[in-house]
């Protein structure tokens, strides 16, 4: 799954302007959490902030912004009788207009290493792509209405009563856990299709270019390499790994490299209990891994054990297991956000 800004530029800003509609705060019972987003153009809507009357009204407000070409703003929706909703909560929503011309700016900002997007509310030229120091200065000056992490989740409470022009600061980059998937066979293809729709930053690796499906899977990065162990060695800390190549010796080498690092958030190896036992013995005897390192291995894979051997059944069980692994995220603080 691509980060929101990359997806916005690639999918929606080719010919049309678009409004990014983001839930930046919620109070009480609400249909979606902060970080929920949808993209609204005059022709289509992608994503959801919870459906129902709230979303219907938000789409109407976004289309009004598309027509007027006005400035970004934050709107407060009470989820009560006015919207024919009985949630009783309150939702703060950011409406941010992007134009096709900005697709080039977004690409340039990503190329020069910009880490933050500042959206000034009520301004004709609202977007500033910048480094952490610029964002920190704005926060310290008290001009920030909301500070959002990579997943769009806020630090602190929304402040909508600022006297001067306020701003929303968003940390750029993928908010998703890095996941390295080795093997483009039937199981790999099924897993890739499901993971492309889920909150993971997926790199899909195989030595055989022809093993990948003819059409790319949106949100999944392909990598053809004859040295998958080098990919493991260069991966970031706390990455997730799935290993299901066409070769047991290759499975062994890749998994050994992952376990040797000792910092994988998840290391899943497809296989039976027999394969697990044989690999564990070799990890101890041939590679010299200790019990702590070996203890990071998950084999067989799949939440609760897949109820069948069909690739799609395995894929659903694996996706459920991965979601269970990453569901508890560290809360954002002003220090780690900036």
In a shared domain, residues 159 and 76: yes
Read off the pLDDT of residues 13-67 as tens digits, 9 standing for 90 and up: 777 889 999 988 888 878 788 888 899 999 888 888 887 888 999 999 999 999 9
Amino acid 163: pLDDT? 45
Q: Which of 171, 200, 215 is the last residue of a domain?
A: 171
Contact 18, 44 (CB under 8 A): no
Q: Which residue has the higher pLDDT, 251 or 5?
A: 251
Burial class (CB in 10 A: 0-12, 13-18, 19+), 317: buried
Q: How far apart are CA 50 and CA 162, in angstroms?
A: 28
d(CA 141, CA 144): 8
Give the residue from 23, 27, 118 showing the smallest Cα distance to 337: 118
When pLDDT is averaged across residues 237-252 and rounded to a whole number, the result is 95
Are residues 77 and 161 both part of a single domain? yes
- Read off the CATH number of the domain in which 214 is found: 3.40.50.720
Same domain? 184 vs 150: no
Q: Is residue 143 located within the same domain as residue 199?
A: no
336 within domain boundaries: no
For the beta carbon of residue 264, count every other beta carbon within 10 angstroms: 23
Question: pLDDT (tens digit, 9 = 90+) per residue, 64-103?
Answer: 999 999 889 988 888 766 666 666 678 889 999 998 888 8
Pairing of strands 18-27, 200-206: unpaired
The answer to whether residue 337 sits within a structural domain is no
| Percent of the chain's residues with pLDDT above 70 | 90
Q: What is the pTM of this model?
A: 0.70
Residue 205 and residue 311 in one domain: yes
Task: Decide which of 275 and 115 is more confident.
Answer: 275
Both 127 and 232 in a single domain? no
Total number of domains in the chain: 2
Is residue 95 domain-shared with residue 184, that is, in the same domain? no
Q: Are 34 and 90 contacting, i.e. CB atoms less than 8 angstroms apart?
A: no
pLDDT of residue 87: 62
**Domain carrying residue 83:** 4-171
Confidence of residue 164 (pLDDT cuts 50, 70, 90): low
What local confidence, expressed as pLDDT, does residue 31 receive? Answer: 78
Question: How distant is the alpha carbon of residue 243 from its chain centre?
Answer: 21
pLDDT above 80 for 141: no
Q: 83 lies in a domain?
A: yes
HSE of 307 in the Cβ direction (CA atoms, 13 Å)? 1
Q: Residue 218: inside a domain, yes or no?
A: yes
Average pLDDT, the chain: 85
Residue 3 or 316, more confident: 316
Residue at 295 is within a domain:
yes
Q: Of the residues 140, 171, 202, which one is the last residue of a structural domain? A: 171
For 129-160, give the DSSP string: EE-HHHHHHHHHTT-EEEEE-TTSPEES----
| 224 and 116 within one domain | no
Confidence of residue 254 (pLDDT cuts 50, 70, 90): very high
Q: What does the pLDDT read at residue 186?
A: 95
Q: Rounded CA gap, 182 and 206, in Å?
A: 6
Final residue of a structural domain among 149, 171, 193: 171
d(CA 37, CA 28): 19
Write 230-238 long-range contacts (CB < 8 A, 24+). 231/180, 231/203, 231/205, 232/180, 232/257, 232/258, 232/261, 233/257, 233/261, 235/178, 235/180, 235/261, 236/178, 237/263, 238/177, 238/263, 238/264, 238/265
Let me know: does 204 contact 221? Beta carbons within 8 Å: yes
Task: Check pLDDT > 60 for residue 194.
Answer: yes
Predicted confidence (pLDDT) at residue 221 exceeds the cutoff of 70: yes
Out of 248-257, 274-283, 287-296, 328-337, least confident range: 328-337
Based on the domain organization, do 114 and 155 belong to the same domain?
Answer: yes
Whether 331 is covered by a domain: the verdict is no
Residue 338 has pLDDT above 70, yes or no: no
Clarify whether residues 159 and 191 are in a common domain: no
Please give the Cα distance from 37 to 29 (Å, whole number).
Answer: 18
Kindly report which listed range (90-94, 122-126, 326-330) carries the lowest average pLDDT score.
326-330
**Omega of the bond prior to 300 within 30 degrees of 0, cis?**
yes
CA distances from 3 to 6, 113, 150, 156, 219 (A): 6, 15, 8, 23, 9
183 in the same domain as 156? no
Does residue 304 lie in a domain region? Answer: yes
161 and 195 in a single domain? The answer is: no
């Amino acid at each position: 799954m691509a980060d929101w800004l990359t997806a916005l530029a690639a999918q929606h800003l080719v010919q049309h302007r678009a409004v990014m509609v983001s839930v930046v705060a919620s109070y009480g019972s609400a249909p979606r959490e902060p970080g929920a987003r949808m993209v609204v153009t005059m022709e289509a809507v992608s994503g959801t902030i919870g459906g129902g009357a709230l979303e219907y009204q938000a789409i109407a407000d976004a289309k009004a912004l598309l027509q007027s070409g006005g400035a970004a703003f934050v709107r407060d929706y009470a989820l009560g009788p006015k919207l024919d909703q009985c949630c009783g909560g309150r939702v703060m929503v950011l409406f941010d207009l992007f134009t096709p011309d900005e697709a080039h700016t977004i690409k340039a900002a990503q190329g020069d290493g910009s880490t933050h997007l500042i959206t000034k509310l009520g301004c004709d030229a609202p977007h500033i792509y910048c480094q952490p120091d610029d964002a920190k200065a704005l926060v310290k000056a008290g001009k920030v209405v909301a500070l959002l992490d990579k997943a769009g989740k806020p630090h602190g409470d929304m402040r909508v009563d600022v006297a001067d022009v306020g701003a929303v600061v968003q940390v750029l980059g993928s908010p998703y856990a890095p996941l390295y998937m080795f093997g483009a066979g039937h199981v790999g293809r099924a897993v890739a299709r499901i993971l492309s729709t889920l909150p993971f930053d997926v790199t899909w690796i195989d030595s055989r270019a022809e093993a990948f499906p003819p059409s790319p899977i949106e949100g999944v990065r392909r990598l053809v390499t004859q040295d998958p162990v080098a990919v493991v060695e260069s991966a970031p800390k706390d990455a997730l790994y799935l290993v299901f190549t066409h070769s047991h010796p290759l499975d062994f080498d890749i998994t050994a490299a992952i376990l040797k690092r000792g910092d994988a958030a998840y290391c899943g190896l497809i296989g039976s209990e027999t394969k697990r036992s044989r690999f564990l013995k070799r990890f101890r005897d041939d590679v010299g891994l200790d019990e702590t390192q070996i203890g990071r291995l998950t084999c067989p894979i799949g939440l609760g054990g897949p109820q069948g051997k069909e690739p799609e059944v395995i894929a659903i069980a694996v996706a459920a297991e991965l979601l269970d692994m990453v569901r508890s995220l560290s809360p954002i603080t002003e220090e780690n956000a900036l």
